Structure 1
Amino acid sequence: MSSTDLARGVITALVEAGVREVVLAPGSRNAPLSFAAYDAAAAGLLRLHSRVDERSAGFLALGLTKTGSRAAVMCTSGTAVANLHPAALEAAHSGVRLVVVTADRPERLYGTGANQTTDQHGILGPLVPGRALSGVGDVDVDGLWSAPGPLHWNVHLDEPLLPSAPWEVPAIEVRAEVQRPEPRIFESIDLGPRTVVVAGDDAGPPARVLAEAAGWPLLAEPSSGSRTGENAIRTYRLLLGSPLAERIERVVVCGHPTLSRPVSRLLARDDVEVVAGPVRGAWAERPFPVDRRFITRLHVGGLDGSGAASDPEWLAAWREADTEVGRRLDGFLAEQTALTPYAVAGAVARALPPGGQLVVGASNPIRDLDLMVPRYAVGARRKVLSNRGLAGIDGVVSTAIGAALGRDSTRDLALMGDVTFLHDSNGLVLGPDEPRPDLTIVVVNDDGGSIFATLEQGAAVHADRFERLFGTPHGVSIEALCAATRTAYTQATSLPALEQALAMPNGGIEVVEAVVGRTDRRALDERIRALAAW
């Protein structure tokens, strides 16, 4: 079988499986796949994206997939494949069905010094199932969606690598995905003791519905998809350090909570019962003791029919404390003369309209946002995304671009730190014919890694070596970097300037640099934590 026939068989299988987005990194060995993808795109069967950097390509495909599209990323052989590993690992740990298609040398060249030839079987690790394809008969369409998470197709392509003529693409019918019934293990919970609902990443609306049905406080992370309604507690992270948290007797965990050490300490308490739901991703086990588990949506038993909780004072106490601490926090931030990262996060949160989408980077920005997100209205379709599978800083620019291309939103925003932005600045390298979303990227620039100042290594005893090991100032001009990629740029050094920049987007991809300080980050966080003391 020719490499052209094999490549066309791969593209046909992807289209049959519902893939509508293909991200391609250029190379020689993957030329048969490139030509086949181009012809399929010309026939209107998929949308093609090209990127010069495989790591950015992988995260672009991840962003497209996270917003509901089905996407595949393709690259050539050798080190190109290794650059897809970060995106594949994030997909594995967050349960995102990303398809990785890599070109490879023929088997006869394995074990030799042939150019760009290595052992690509299993190269993405045990968490990314792989399949070697040497002929169309090896292509398993049904296996694409057999389980959540990424899949690796390693395609052996031999010369000749160019088609003799363009592909007259036939009509391809999308196969319906087989829906497998979910097992039922535990689905009812009584009102019982004083309970809070912790909603981590990807928890979704069921966490909110449960909290409202039972009258329980909802401690929801920004990317949970649950942070709406009247039960959402904005300042929960601060309140978990107050006497109110000592009264908690039970926690229901939905999704994948990763942001807060106070939440981790709560879940590790011996006097708290933990009821945990399923979590997507490679590992189903929780990193904290779990007393009971449920697989399907959890329902509340023991209601009297009115929907009223058995202990309405429990929720009222959390709401009252949240209102007071939120008032103190807003007042404290308003007193600051310099722009703070919390003020930046608050401005971005307010700028997100109904139907809008926000992609948030790891490290401080998502934690700052966690304290600043208001109670969004139920049903307003605001979507907040973050790569929380491994919570890395890789590929966030490309993820945000992919997410913006993959969802029809009223507005697309991204919030990230300067180190995260620099880590994926190649994401701004787009060719003139590439699809471009309207996306505003807000970069909180404190010239280094301020999150470490808030951790143990930020203590005064380590001050003599902190900057070299953890602060890592870079001195990069964000403006010059944007100019190099012809990306629209605005700088904001005050809250009014930032709010004006957010209110007047230029269209296309643009960067708003919010300049904040770093030397006082540890003291700033300590003062904010003290606001919950009474």
Structure 2
Amino acid sequence: MTNPSTDLARAVMTALVEAGVREVVVSPGSRNAPLSFAALAAAGSGAVRLHTRIDERSGGFLALGLTRSGSRAAVVCTSGTAVANLHPAMLEAAHSGLPLVAVTADRPARLRGTDANQTTDHVGIFGRLVPTHDLSDPAQVEVSADADGPLHLNVQLDDPLLPDDAWAPATQPAQPAPRTDTDEHLLALGPRTVVVAGDDAGQRARQLAEAAGWPLLAEPTSGSRTGAHALRCYRLLLDTELGRRIERVVVFGHPTLSRPVTRLLGRDDIEVVSVRHRGVWTERPYPVAREASGVSVEEADGPAWLDEWRAADREVSQRLDALLAAEGELTPYDVAGAVSRALPAGAQLVVGASSPVRDLDLMVRPYPVGSRRKTIANRGLAGIDGTVSTAIGAALGRDSDAHTFALMGDVTFLHDSNGLVLGPDEPRPDLTIVVVNDDGGSIFAVLEQGAPEHAAGFDRLFGTPHGVDLGALCAATRTPHWRVESLPELEQALSSPHGGIEVVEVRVRRDNRRDLDARIRALATPTN
């Protein structure tokens, strides 16, 4: 007869496997020993793949990356501050609508409200956005196979904490129930319309734009920046006379990158049609005239409107390329462009928040339909947390052997450098991490606080130069590192990855970022 904590832990692991969890990330601890042994047994039987991380925050984002790539994951940790370190990943999962499961070990109920070691209030620790199941009985354990958001299983474990027999889960995964929200809205033609595809919009945005003959303004992580209707430099065009003539916008996904898009959606002369998207909050922050699970048209609009946008996009793209070529030195935009061009069909790109994803937005040309280049980012809350671990998880979670690339800034890389700490037996993907290193936070240079009148305190408060030797940092974790100084060197490094996890560092300037950004924004309204 097994002990109660072992029974409970095994019931949790069985429920996870039945709900389709195939990846389990464990951080070491004493109180979570029953859960860790159950995960090890499940991995030994082939029911799950096991990963271990010493840092719970990195472990949470590893599980998030695995889930984001389509391989549902759970992250297991001990009690106390370990649980709090999962909060950033759980919030990102909530706002992205990802079914990440946090399994936290707790003291038994009789110790709650006491000063027992590592005892705090776990129940509801992730806030109202993440439901918590507080478990003390195996009969209480339930995990849905068709969840559209994260779940917290808080497991009360009492001594003894070690199993006294062998075990393997004997389960079959449940099939998620098919979605039934199919209230399709038929749009009439007439108003000058554009389709905005934010993060995780999917191919439906492209399909509508092509069926209706409308311009497609697709963020790089939308999953719909493909085909002949997607525009490269749309955000530079929105504040021009052409952009001011827009009368209606159909919004898919979660648009977060561009202030011109935000201004467009907030205009009082615009009719906004919203297609529902994943995430705990689906209410748009601007007035919506209609909301539906899908949008369709019966026929295509005339070609004149789309032709105007295509012509303007071609002209501004040529000006942008000419401006960057004339710089005479490598810019962050050149790096983003090189990475986007280096992606072969079937490859995956994970992109960090702040400047890199916005640089990519201007530089990635629409890919051919069906070429399956997947670009993902943590845009639920758009934080820089855990990006290295997310990229590793996304690479490990793919059902393809195609290479994964990651593009991020130096501050983002440093924020999760613990993600490179992997034990000798841990699965390691083929992942090339490109770090755009300008020794600080360049995103703030182009915002209001980067104006000259705030220069005295800018670096201390926002620029935050760090002077870290990234090569030495990589050497500490035995991660291969290359530093490149030119575009040909970068292109060579991207075209011939060595396998495993490697870091390509590209040094660029930060002192001219505000001026460069201003000149790029002016390209759509040149003076004669």
Match of 1:125 among 120, 127, 136: 127
Given candidates 112, 115, 139, the residue that maps to 2:114 is: 112
Counterpart in the other structure of 1:343: 334
Which residues in structure 2 correspond to 1:395-434 (within 5 Å)? 395-407=386-398, 408-434=400-426
What secondary structure sits across from 1:451 in the alignment?
helix
Identify if the C-alpha distance between structure 1 residues 445 and 466 changes in structure 2 by more than 3 Å, giving closer, same or farther: same
| Structure 1 residue 146 displacement after superposition | 5.4
Q: Distance in 2 between matches of 1:59 and 1:78?
A: 19
Deviation of residue 2 (structure 1)? 1.3
- Matching of residues 95-106 of structure 1 within 5 Å: 95-106=97-108
Query: Are 2:289 and 1:291 equivalent residues in the alignment?
Result: yes
Partner-residue secondary structure (3-state), 1:223:
coil
Task: Please name the residue that 1:306 is paired with.
Answer: none
Tell me the SS of whatever aligns to 1:366. helix
1:183 offset after TM fit, Å?
A: 4.8
- Say whether the 8 Å CA contact 1:357–1:409 is kept in structure 2: no
What is the aligned counterpart of 1:393 among 384, 388, 393? 384
Ranges of 4+ aligned residues in structure 1 off by more than 6 Å = none
In structure 2, the residue matched to 1:322 is 313
Deviation of residue 493 (structure 1)? 1.5
SS of the equivalent of 1:490 reads: strand
Counterpart position of 2:243: 245
Structure 2: distance between partners of 1:426 and 1:6: 31
Deviation at 1:370, TM superposition (A): 0.1
Could you say which residue in structure 1 is the equivalent of 2:172? 173
Within-5 A mapping of 1:64-75: 64-75=66-77
Structure 2: how far apart are the matches of 1:315 and 1:507?
43
Q: 2:95 aligns with which of 90, 93, 96?
A: 93
Match of residue 214 from structure 1: 212
The counterpart of 1:25, out of the listed 27, 30, 41, is 27
In structure 2, the residue matched to 1:192 is 190
The Cα shift of 1:331 comes to 1.1
Supply the distance in 1 between the matched residues of 2:496 and 2:174 (Cα, whole angstroms): 44
Partner Cα distance (1:409, 1:514) in 2: 26
| Number of residue pairs aligned between Structure 1 and Structure 2 | 523
Matches within 5 A, 1:298-309: 298-301=295-298, 303=299, 309=300
Deviation, 1:177, is: 2.4
Cα displacement (A) at 1:180: 4.3
Kindly indicate whether the alpha-carbon contact (under 8 Å) linking 2:78 and 2:106 is maintained by their aligned counterparts in 1: yes
Aligned partner of 2:152 in structure 1 is 152
Q: Secondary structure at the match of 1:224?
A: coil
User: Distance between the aligned counterparts of 2:145 and 2:285, measured in 1?
Assistant: 27
The answer to whether residue 162 in structure 2 is matched with residue 162 in structure 1 is: yes
Q: State whether residues 349 and 373 of structure 1, in contact with CA within 8 Å, keep that contact through their aligned partners in structure 2.
A: yes
CA distance in 2, matches of 1:316, 1:374: 17
Equivalent position amino acid for 2:26 in 1: L
Give the Cα separation in 2 of the matches to 1:137 and 1:180.
Answer: 28
* Corresponding residue to 1:471 among 444, 463, 485: 463
How far the C-alpha of 1:373 sits from its partner, in A, is 0.5
CA contact under 8 A between 2:206 and 2:229: conserved in structure 1? Answer: yes
AA aligned opposite 2:90? A
- Which of 483, 497, 501 is the aligned partner of 2:489? 497
Query: Paired residue for 1:234?
Result: 232
| SS of equivalent to 1:190 | coil
One-letter identity of the residue aligned with 2:336? A
1:524 and 2:526 correspond = no
Cα distance in structure 2, aligned partners of 1:322 and 1:434 = 46
Deviation of 1:311 after TM superposition, in Å, equals 2.5
**Distance (whole Å) between structure 2 residues aligned to residue 8 and residue 170 of structure 1:** 8
Task: Tell me the equivalent position of 1:355.
Answer: 346
Q: Which amino acid aligns with 2:297?
A: V
Structure 2 counterpart of 1:198, one-letter code: V
Say which SS state the counterpart of residue 453 (structure 1) adopts.
helix
Question: Structure 2-normalised TM-score?
Answer: 0.98
Question: CA–CA distance in 2 between the matches of 1:282 and 1:313?
Answer: 39
- Report how far residue 410 of structure 1 moved: 1.8
Distance 1:147 1:480 in 2: 42
Query: Does the 8 Å CA contact 2:145/2:175 hold for their aligned counterparts?
Result: no
Q: Structure 1 residue 335: deviation in Å? A: 1.3
Determine the C-alpha separation between the residues in 2 that align with 1:37 and 1:211.
46
Question: Over aligned residues, Cα RMSD in angstroms?
Answer: 1.0
Q: Distance in 2 between matches of 1:310 and 1:519?
A: 46
Whichever residue aligns with residue 325 of structure 2, its letter is A
Letter in 1 for 2:165: A
1:23 counterpart letter in structure 2: V
Shift of 1:411: 1.6
TM-score, length-scaled by structure 1:
0.97
Per-residue CA deviations over 1:118-147 (Å, capped at 9, x if unaligned) read 011101111000001101011013xx3454
Read off the aligned partner of 1:464 and give its amino acid letter: A
8 Å Cα contact 1:342/1:369 also seen in 2:
yes
